[in-house]
Amino acid sequence: MIYCKTDVAVQAANAALVGEGVRFERIRRITGYLVGTLDRFNNAKRAEERDRVKHCSLEKWD
Amino acid sequence: MPASIRKRDSRVVPFELSKIAEAIFKAAQSQGGSDRSKAVELAKVVEAKLNALYGDGIPDVEQVQDIVEKVLIEAGHAKTAKAYILYRNERTRIRVMKTRLMTTLRDISFKDARDNDLKRENANIDGDTAMGTMLKYGSEAAKQFYECFLLNPRHSQAHNEGDIHIHDLDFFSLTTTCTQIDIKKLFAGGFNTGHGFLREPNSIQSAAALACIAIQSNQNDQHGGQSIPNFDYGLAPGVARSYIKNIDLVLDMRDADPDFRTSTAGGLKTLLLQKERAGEPFSILSPEGQDIVLSALCKRLSPEEARHIMDKALTRTERDTYQAMEGLVHNLNTMHSRAGAQIPFSSINYGTDTSPEGRMVIRNVLLATEAGLGNGETPIFPIHIFKVKEGVSFNKGDPNYDMFKLACRVSAKRLFPNFSFLDAPFNLAYYKPGRPETEIAYMGCRTRVIANRYDPSREITNGRGNLSFTSINLPRLGLKHRGDLNGFFGELDEKMSLVFEQLLERLEIQSSKKVKNYPFLMGQGIWLDSDNLGPEDEVREVLKHGTLTTGFIGLAECLVALIGQHHGQSEEAQKLGLEIIRHMRERADRKGEETSLNFTLIGTPAEGLSGRFVRLDRKLFGAIPNVTDRDYYTNSFHIPVHFPISAYNKIRLEAPYHALTNGGHITYVEVDGDPCSNLEAFEDIVRAMHDMGIGYGSINHPVDRDPVCGYTGIINDVCPRCGRHDGEGIPLETLRRIKGYRKESRSSDEVSEAEHKIPNCIL
């Protein structure tokens, strides 16, 4: 059986891992604006975000 | 005598007597002296003293200057001595500033944003990029320049010590904060961006594109964000024009006679323009409008055929509107302003236009936001603000109730829209049915402008905004006067007077600018009444439509310092909290009456400030539990984020502060779980905000996304879709199974053709 070139590449790639080093995006609202990455928060904002507690749960009520 | 002298940078240079004589002469000259030989004589006395003190040693500059001072005083030249000391102090100050500035610039150049808090001051500027860094150079240099040369020393001292915070100090001498851009007025007749004239938009696509350009252009003239107060009303005419175009297009597709096409579309357009110019409400998509279209088409076509054409045109218009809104959301998340370093801070207000055109705009901007960006990302901009109004968009049976439901659904997924409440008594007071400019609109961050002391006949939102604002450090006042309320209110009054004075001094600088300094904001008549001015005119008078705002942060910490509890913990604290904020509001109102200017009070958003004040206060007072022991002060009048409290109680306790903070306010509720699975409860929270008198609020919930598999929702440690941890890799095979990783972009014909050509290849 003959494989075309791209297939070999795909098979090789299948063995490899994708997404290494890619962080989850965590969108938060702080001081009124949304920010897509906590990395750009200044230290005070990071601390504030970390301390937040929830005021109610919206899990489906039974 | 000393042969050399050591300079500040520790270089050793030959000692020159003439330099000392020159410095003494200059000091004397500034006091009216003109006797050079006397200066030389005094310099010789200095030399003798140096000889006695240092012999062959090497004195440094400071030591020499000390002796000069001493000699001048001893010789009875008090005035000259004073001038010399002043000159010396001034030089020292400038030298210190230079060193500080260079250190700051060095940090900006060589430190990563991750290690430099300064570079993360504004979360939406990427401090690591070339333009972000350039912006930061300018900003830091400007701040230090104003502190040295422009600011009243009393204000600059209070700012540096952290009693008050002058916001956007880098723009101190340049411009004002923000504006509610009336796009309806702007589009009528077309406008100029300064680089070319743009005709009145003739379709929803171009109207949406121009709305983005208006935001971008105005953002370059001001230091704050930009908002559109009438997004639905403003873009509705674009929908009507697209509909007429689509009627023409469908007729063309059916090979209608060109003359008939021209007369039909031309006739409808002429009618639309006539009605618009006359200011008569007219909607081509309303039943009356549709009758007119039908009878125009029926001149040549059967009623069935005409209806078919109208249906097709309507479907196309809906699709055009969706695409226009999709484009707008994409544009506002990618276009740049301010030397390319920033995405414009944009907000759009909508929800009360009940015309079919306006509703089409609302529906599609919500749907486009729900769909997200290209890979399903949550759009960061624009901030959406849905206007909630009884009889319009709040209760079952209201014409836009369906839009409110949709707004809740989209907000549950994407965090936007926020909700503004037109029925809150302080907002309702200005509301006049049929006059959208009297509907409250918020700047996304919370700024609110409606009352108008300067011109009480213009109590409107459109074309106005904040001029500048300065915040007071409430926790520090609390810490200075623990248990002593009289002392507290006394110093609060002093601080407010200081802030008023500072706002007025800044206004003077802003007022002396000319229209040409704000080419879009003033040149294109965005700002109220600026359309009556020429390019060389001062903006002094028209600026008076804007607000001068005093802000505050950390009411909670202030209360803890004063009486041991914050307003979430006891009714007594709540009572005192309201007394403090009411007092501040009354002071602002009185200042407004005195000056006929719009002095207002805002619950400050506290961008970088929440961390700055607490750092300074911890140095002064140490780490005091629940006051200075965290890295931030609580935003405005909020209940602290770490304090457990029910949503209902949080809304109940914060609502009365909305009535007092006429310059802006927002209340957040943090919810757990996936709000999309419980929209009823989500809506209940919004209704509770409405019922309890909140002016502007929104619901926070975590929106996480895994960029690898594309999952959007709540991600704790592990992505629920692909099972990877943060930063972990997963096998491509797994990924492909999950989401059909390789997208087939070819048509089925192309695939089968390829299969025939290369039979052995697995495709």
Q: Is B136 exposed, middle or buried (0-12, 13-18, 19+ CB in 10 A)?
A: buried
Q: Are B357 and B239 in contact (CB under 8 A)?
A: yes
Q: Residue B111: its chain A contacts at CB < 8 A?
A: none
Q: What is the pLDDT of residue B758?
A: 39
pLDDT tens by residue, B620-637:
999 999 999 999 999 999
Mutation choice for A interface testing from B708, B715, B763 by most A CBs within 10 A: B708
Answer yes or no: do A30 and B123 touch at CB < 8 A: yes
pLDDT at residue A58 is higher than 50:
yes
Q: Residue A35: its chain B contacts at CB < 8 A?
A: 123-124, 380
Q: What is the pLDDT of residue A4?
A: 47
Question: Which chain A residue has its CA at the smallest distance from B698's CA?
Answer: A32
Question: Which chain B residue has its CA at the smallest distance from A28's CA?
Answer: B702
From the list A23, A29, A41, the residue facing B700 with the nearest CB is: A29
Phi, psi angles (nearest 5°) of residue B227: -135, 150
For chain B, the structural domain boundaries read: 4-90, 178-341, 453-663, 711-756
Going from the C-alpha of B214 to that of each of B365, B409, B465, B573, the distances in angstroms are 18, 29, 16, 45
User: CA B14 to CA B391: how far, in whole Å?
Assistant: 87
Query: What value does the mean pLDDT of chain B take?
Result: 91
* Domain spanning B453-663: CATH 3.40.50.150: no
Q: What is the pLDDT of residue B594?
A: 97
Question: Which chain A residue has its CA at the smallest distance from B669's CA?
Answer: A55
pLDDT tens by residue, B26-66:
888 888 888 889 999 999 999 898 888 888 888 888 888 89
Mutation choice for A interface testing from B413, B626, B671 by most A CBs within 10 A: B671
Kindly report whether the peptide bond that precedes residue B382 is cis, defined as omega within 30 degrees of 0.
Answer: yes
User: CA B14 to CA B3: how far, in whole Å?
Assistant: 6
Q: What is the pLDDT of residue B337?
A: 77
pLDDT tens by residue, B76-114:
888 888 888 888 888 887 777 777 788 888 888 888 777
Helix, strand, coil proportions of chain A in percent (round to 5)? 35, 20, 40
From the list A15, A27, A35, the residue facing B124 with the nearest CB is: A35
User: CA B405 to CA B419: how far, in whole Å?
Assistant: 12
Tokens of B124: 């939406």
Question: How far out from the chain centre does Cα B205 lie?
Answer: 26
Going from the C-alpha of B223 to that of each of B78, B216, B314, B403, the distances in angstroms are 48, 12, 41, 33
Report residue B757's pLDDT band, with 50, 70 and 90 as the boundaries. very low
Answer yes or no: do A44 and B631 touch at CB < 8 A: yes
Lowest-confidence pick of B53-62, B425-434, B574-583, B653-662: B53-62
Answer yes or no: do B678 and A60 touch at CB < 8 A: yes
Q: How far is A62 from chain B (nearest CA, A)?
A: 11
Query: What value does the mean pLDDT of chain A take?
Result: 72
- What's the whole-number mean pLDDT along residues B643-647? 95
From the list A2, A16, A25, the residue facing B707 with the nearest CB is: A25
Q: How far is A45 from chain B (nearest CA, A)?
A: 7
pLDDT tens by residue, B270-292:
999 999 999 898 999 999 999 99
Question: Which chain A residue has its CA at the smallest distance from B709's CA?
Answer: A19
User: Who has greater pLDDT, B258 or A16?
Assistant: B258
Q: Residue A62: its chain B contacts at CB < 8 A?
A: none
DSSP state of B429: T
Answer yes or no: do B383 and A32 touch at CB < 8 A: yes
ipTM, two decimals: 0.76
